[in-house]
Amino acid sequence: MKKIVILFCLLLAGVLIVEAQSCVSGDCDCVSCAVKKSGKFTLPGLEELNEPPAATPLERQHEPGDACCPAEPVPHDHDGKPVQEADDDHAGHDHGTASVPHDHDGDGVSDHDSGDDHAGHDHGEIEGIRLSQDMFDKSGIQIQEAGGGTVAMMSGFPAEIKLNRDTTAAISPRYASIVREVYAEIGDQVGKGDQLASLENRETMAVYAVVAPRDGIIISKNLAPGETADDDRILFEVADLASVWADISVFPQYQHLLRKGMPVQFIAHDGHEAQGIIRYISPLVSHETRTFTARCVLRGAGEDFTPGAFVRARINVKSVDAKVVVPREAIQTLEGETVVFVPSPNGFIPEVVSTGLADDLNIEVISGLQPSAKYVASGAFALKAQMVTSGMNPHAGHGH
């Protein structure tokens, strides 16, 4: 038995010596060498269990860097470090850090450097219009404090000058007569009792005189020697043109604003003016003109307001007591905005204002100019011209 064991040990030793020599040469298929080569320990006959199944063409994924699929570039930040992509719907956005605008050179631009005309204005550093003392005197600039007053809204209406029928007389024969003599012509100034013509009664053959019933001017004549004249025929019209009627055509929407006793300003075609007072307002609307009539009596208006002339009437239909009232010349327009000029340590500056009612002299200021604030009441147009010619920006320093 001992001999058998010794022989088995010698045989095993020989086998190990041979395997050791094969492992040294690298041609060995033993388990230890296979483990060394694959890095995995697999029992003989079970090698296929550790191999992954072969991928189908649809399942095969290309790896970045393959010849068919080059690797995509990885985004980097400004310091050259790779930026990891986010997995959610907001990938690529960093909500924790606000983006800063850059200029063309890549430098950051702050809000004060932006191109917004209204950003960062300092009203205390507005550059206004500066004038020398000589220019100030020549411009006729007058500075006043803003105060209140009454502003009237004036409306214009067409008007026609007519004969004052209360001072006009029509002359007719007393009987059916024959005209013998005519002593007056149209345009003659006559006095009460002056003889104008002589007529003969057709029935009695008696001759009698036709005289002027009042002082005035002959404005019409309708007879000639030898003619017959019935007792309903108007031979002469004598009118006192020292007073005339001015009939104003008033639009219906103004009817409730007018009343007797209201003053009216009349302007003739050559600019001459006359003043009147409403004495009569018609209760009916004309079918032809769709207006109603307000009548004034003008006395001593002159030849520009003779009967038949068309003039313009201006009536104060509404008045308001305003907190701030300025002269019309104080209001100027710059680039579509209504402004007044106010003095400041940096010169005269245009301030945007809102206006209300206006009359011939004054304008109501609703906002933009406070009571007691100083402003340019006269000479504002010269400041506007200086601003326009110098190319200054009227909006500089104003917040909107």
In angstroms, the Cα distances linking 352 to 58, 322, 387, 395 are 75, 18, 15, 9
71-87 average pLDDT score = 47
How far is the C-alpha of 135 from the C-alpha of 121, rounded, in Å? Answer: 29
Higher pLDDT, 317 or 187: 187
Percent of the chain topping pLDDT 90? 44
- The answer to whether residues 258 and 250 touch, using CB atoms and an 8 Å cutoff, is yes
Length of the chain: 400
**Bridge partners, 189 (sequence order):** 217
Instruction: Considering the chain, tell me which residue range(s) the CATH 2.40.420.20 domain(s) occupy.
Output: 125-151+320-390
How far is the C-alpha of 231 from the C-alpha of 238, rounded, in Å? Answer: 18
How far is the C-alpha of 325 from the C-alpha of 355, rounded, in Å? Answer: 9
How far is the C-alpha of 338 from the C-alpha of 379, rounded, in Å? Answer: 16
How far is the C-alpha of 32 from the C-alpha of 40, rounded, in Å? Answer: 10
Residue pLDDT, tens place only, 150-180 = 888 788 999 999 999 999 999 999 999 999 9
How far is the C-alpha of 281 from the C-alpha of 262, rounded, in Å? Answer: 11
CATH of 125-151+320-390, one of 3.40.718.10, 3.50.50.60, 2.40.420.20, 2.30.30.240: 2.40.420.20
Q: Has residue 344 got a pLDDT over 60?
A: yes
Per-residue model confidence (pLDDT) at position 98: 33
Q: Which two tokens mark 383?
A: 């400041």
36-57 average pLDDT score = 48
Which residues, including other chains, have CB under 8 Å from residue 114's CB and lie 6 or more apart? 101
Q: Is residue 313 very low, low, confident or very high in pLDDT (cuts 50, 70, 90)? A: very high
Per-residue model confidence (pLDDT) at position 323: 92
Per-residue model confidence (pLDDT) at position 129: 82
Instruction: Considering the chain, tell me which residue range(s) the CATH 2.40.30.170 domain(s) occupy.
Output: 244-318
Architecture of the domain defined by 244-318: Beta Barrel (2.40)
How far is the C-alpha of 19 from the C-alpha of 14, rounded, in Å? Answer: 9
Q: Is residue 78 very low, low, confident or very high in pLDDT (cuts 50, 70, 90)? A: very low
**Domain spanning 168-239, CATH class:** mainly beta
Per-residue model confidence (pLDDT) at position 155: 86
Q: Has residue 94 got a pLDDT over 60?
A: no
Average pLDDT, the chain: 77
